[in-house]
Structure 1
Amino acid sequence: MTSSLEHWYIDSWDASAGRAFCSCRPGMDAIAELGLEAHFIAPPFFIPELVASRAPGLAAARGMFQLGLFIDGREIAFDNLEEIIALVRRVYSSRGMWPGPGGGLPPAPPPPDSPPDLGDAPLRSPPLPSLPSFTEHLKRFIKDDDTISISRLMQWPPLDQISHDETRQLLVAAGVELMDELLSRAPAAARPEDLRLWQALLVDFHRLCQRLDIDRDVFNWRHASSRLQKHFNEAMDVDRIRIGHGHSISGLYELFERLPLPKVIAQDYVIAKGHDPSLLTLLSAYFSHAGAVNKHHVQLEFALLMFAGGCVTTQNRLASYDVSSGSTVSGAFAWFKPQLPTLKFHPSIERIIRQAPADWYRFENNSQGPSNGPGPQSGSRPKTGPRPGPAVNQRKPQTSRASANTINKAQDFGQGDEHSLEEKENQDPIQFKF
């Protein structure tokens, strides 16, 4: 049991891999004490494990872990262990907002003055429900609230009352928007390998729609050119002999990473110059900080989230298995809701969570860290490695050293300015409670 004078602190963490050592101590006077209660947190379940002392956590800061959690040079004190777990999990989930090495998205479409000749008429999405309860809670979460000391519990509402027709419209609308974006990226005069990659992605997307029983609505060839249907038929012929592909989709989150977001919402999820947001970007954004700050297309975003959730919850279902769209959306929401952020932090911490993916993206692609502002920083240069997806995708923890550091006055990665653990402890940071 902790006394009223004790708080929880992060001793060290590797936020990109969702791992952290934390301890409970009575204040800054005990910062050097090793024999205090300490825990280790890691995915996929983020259940704290009791460790013998603080020594392993402090020693980890000499390697791939970042020492402590500071804002303006002051250490953050948490009221309980649950707050640290929520923070580590949310920053970890945000890592899926940017693509891994090599990306995988089809090339961006050409300028509007030279669109490819893909169809006689644009695909049209069905009307979407208003979702008043979900929309209201979403706006309440993303709004800054300086009255929060450290965190506040957030209760998300149940699924809005929507009819059977509306549940189907949700799935079809998401499929049509994704399909329309894919069609706009069809290689017009590309190399054969580019065409094959695009065709393979089109076939995989078709199988997702088959799984949700919306393929006939989404792949409506009456609104597509004969050239496009020819591409699809060729892709199906090639796909039948693809080794190891079979009739099921493996690597579902990798496929989400290859499906580009519709243009109407993609601009809200661009985290750096050259970043092309995907369906995985949208999932990670909601799991880490409830999506973009500006909410102009909540209904469409919700439809895309239910499309992704439906694909996840039905991935072991045969395409011929008949299930209603209402059951699919209900199951998708039951999967989606528990992964939304349950604790809303002080605006300073919320900004750190939102900023982390942009800093990681800048580091991995430009070999340098943030020039200013909060973001990832480590005493030594991180090793490159695969990027973890959302926490629900229970992959093994990654070993990337791109740990999220939350010091507003961040140093540049390229400077190579390393400090020993003893030097950092001697800085004697001030205990900080908002």
Structure 2
Amino acid sequence: MKVVVMGAGVIGVTTAYYLRKGGAEVTVLDRQLGPGLETSYANAGELSYGMTSPWAAPGVPLKALKWLFMKRRPLFIWPLISPTMWSWGLQMLRNCNEESYRVNKSRMVRISNYSRDVMPELIAETGIEYDGRAQGTLQLFRTEKQLKGSKADQEILAEYDSPYEVLDRDGCIAVEPALASVRDKFVGGLRLTADRTGDCRMFTTALAERCAEMGVEFLYGQAVKSIVAENERVAGVDTEIAGRVTGDAYVCALGSYGPRVLNPIGVKLPVYPVKGYSVTLPVTSDAEAPQSTIMDETHKVAITRLGDRIRVAGTAEIAGYSNRLGPHATDTVRHVISDLFPGGGALGKAEGWTGLRPMTPDGTPVLGPSRYDNLFLNTGHGTLGWTMACGSGRAVADVVLGKAPEISFDGLTAERYGR
């Protein structure tokens, strides 16, 4: 079987790896000149198994209104004249209730837990390096109200067997000693002990190299212009330079750009780009730098240690397909790192980045079959593409190859949208 995978981000490359491992002949297409150069390039670096939750949750609409008036707010919404944006936003609002939240979270956790379990096997098989650490995530609370509000999260973590620790100020400093110098700026934290960290782009690049050694063909600099459908099957993928690329089966792992080629053939998914920002800076003092990941609950900013670097990521900006990195775009993430770890890294040498997260209104990615019997989907992971990559890649590869997947696809396919 020959399979064409569209997209060489972490989702597309992990899918290609499992397809090739299963015996398929695989070709990967990407418009960039190498793997992992878009959303996978400089994300937060969190493998957030314990923090796998949909953004659409009870109370979020009110919180979002408050965020819009914060000086260093985690959310920006630009009122574009875009029916797609407003439709997506209304669907998200409809999911902001207790019943939908629990259904959506259970679906997301199913994928992230599977990914957590299979990723170590992939690392053992390939031996790839990606600045990985397994020291958990510390959700840092600056107020007593936040600490008390985390009880609801603790109940849900317990329900899904996600291990955690509730820490006071001294407990937070015990796991992140550099916080001792700013102990007056927080009251406690929730530590998610099963979480891991690592450089997503480093992982994607190394795995792509391993895939190439296994015989996977990568065609870079090949933007997908359109998917050609005939008689309820996909007949090929038209690219800008290589022309039409054909196979027996096709996997769309184009993230936010998937709808642009799927909509014209009647596969209409509510996947919308939500822009995020990060800065990456060199560590200047190990004793004053973070050791794992800290999530600042107030600003919704993650600070992650990646080897001799610090990655600081956050902000959700709803602005269509804009990839512009304005002069003040990273002000919030820069403020958080200087506020919590002032001596840990060289902020003056920070490299700024922005990328588009492919979000669904219910938070759950769209996996598996489509209306065409040889077109499969692996998209819509939002902020959790790195977290879910190995699990969704392996599960989708199994479906493409006609094998029974190890997790249920109930509620994960496009059928939940009636399409």
Q: TM-score, normalised by structure 2?
A: 0.30
Indicate the structure with greater helix content: 1
Q: TM-score, normalised by structure 1?
A: 0.29
Indicate the structure with greater strand content: 2
